[in-house]
A and B are shown apart, each in its own frame.
Chain A
Amino acid sequence: MSDMDEMEDGSGIVKKFMFLNRKAPHGTVYALEGLEVVLITAAFDQDVSMVFTDDGIYQLMKGIDTKGIEVKDFSRTYRALEGYDIEKLYVDQASLDARGLTEDDLIVDVTVLSVDEMANLMVEQDVVISF
């Protein structure tokens, strides 16, 4: 039986999805679009992990103020993820260090991982999507 058939009869395949967020929150649509895909994936009851690395870390910064650039501040939406049962949020240690940031600068609770730990986590996934 193909995956599609199983989905249609409602038996509900659950895959491990990892979403890699690597870009600053504003200036491109990647962060916002990525977040929407994550919410939709969760609506299909999939196993979702989110990783924040490189400038993607800035998506989780406390105290973002977007008034000056007249776009929606969706940083607060990351705090709604718990309600969607998305609780696996990972941050790359080296990316934090390179920007002089710590977990305390972030608006949600995250797990900070080394490069090796991150690599191991990626290997476990069925699907990795980068934004």
Chain B
Amino acid sequence: MPMVDIAGKEYEVDEEGYLVDLSQWNEDVAKYMAVEEKVDLTDSHWEVVNFLREYYAEYQIAPAVRVLTKAIGKKLGAEKGNNKYLYELFPYGPAKQACKIAGLPKPTGCI
């Protein structure tokens, strides 16, 4: 599998650029992935990224978009738990892009 150099350290990624070893994740990795995805990380982005990491820690999977949207709505409020808000943050798919930045695998059922 390909290796990428991030802030002087080597990381293994899969063919789509997702981090292979979740435990290697850190903020440098997140920033690198965000540049790759052409996402300018703001506090709102971090909120979603951190939410995904917590979700993964609890359930051991990356949620499908529908599930993510619902869970965000529950935790952060209805004004954030909708497709419009999440797609504005992550235009190429909140689950796909935010998971990549969060160092998670691509969500199951992400088609």
A residues at B contact (CB < 8 Å): 36, 39-40, 42-43, 72-74, 76-77, 79-80, 83-84
B5-48 toward A: CB 8 Å interface, digit per residue (1/0)?
Answer: 00000000000000000000000000000000000000000000
Which residue in chain A gives the minimum CB-CB distance to B58? Answer: A76
Partner of B59, one of A36, A40, A79: A79
10 A-B residue pairings within 8 Å (CB atoms)? A39-B108, A40-B109, A43-B64, A43-B111, A76-B58, A77-B59, A77-B60, A79-B58, A80-B63, A83-B71
Number of interface residues of B (CB under 8 A): 13
Q: Which residues of B contact A84 (CB under 8 A)?
A: 64, 67
Q: Is the contact region of chain A dominated by helix, strand, or loop, or is it mixed?
A: helix
Most B CB contacts (10 A, CB to CB) among A36, A43, A72 go to: A43
What residue of chain A has the Cβ atom nearest to residue B109's Cβ? A43
Once the chains bind, are B109 and A74 in contact (CB under 8 Å)? no
Chain B positions within 8 Å of A, measured between CB atoms, are: 58-61, 63-64, 66-67, 70-71, 108-109, 111
In the complex, are the beta carbons of A83 and B63 less than 8 A apart? Answer: yes
Contact partners of B71 in chain A: CB under 8 A: 83
Q: In the complex, are the beta carbons of A76 and B108 less than 8 A apart?
A: no
The distance from the CB of B105 to the nearest CB of chain A, in whole angstroms, is: 10
Closest to B74 in A: A83
Q: Are B109 and A42 in contact (CB under 8 A)?
A: yes
Whether A74 contacts B60 in the complex (CB less than 8 A), given A43-B66, A83-B70, comes out as yes
Which residues of chain A are within 8 angstroms of B64 by Cβ–Cβ distance?
39, 42-43, 84
Report Cα–Cα, A95/B66, bound state, in Å. 34
Question: Nearest Cβ distance between residue B58 and chain A, in whole angstroms?
Answer: 7
